[in-house]
Structure 1
Amino acid sequence: MIFLPLNRNSAHWYVAVLDGVNEKIQILDSLHMDRTSYDAEKTLTTTV
């Protein structure tokens, strides 16, 4: 597993967890935003 700390708009941190064995990405975020917010997130899509 790879844990990627990412910053949204220089104001909020969240973690993307890359699980290569199960080919899954999990988002750990205390704000509990909906999935469409992360699909459009440039930081996450360019990093992964």
Structure 2
Amino acid sequence: MLYPSNYVNKIIYRIKWVTQKNIEAVENKALKKEELKEKIRKNSSVNG
């Protein structure tokens, strides 16, 4: 069964949008993790 092209295009656009949001979320999570490691390392060197 074939779907109208505008429907398919909406699905493809949605998949791309969701994928992009997931990539951004992973990047933000990694960045926050690195910032936390840096903060802990700085506090450890100051305190210890």
Shorter-chain TM band: under 0.3
By percentage of residues, which structure has more helix?
2
Which structure exhibits the higher relative contact order, with contacts defined as CA atoms closer than 8 Å and separated by 6 or more residues? Answer: 1
TM-score if structure 1 supplies the norm length?
0.25
Give 1 or 2 for the bigger CA radius of gyration: 2
TM-score if structure 2 supplies the norm length?
0.25
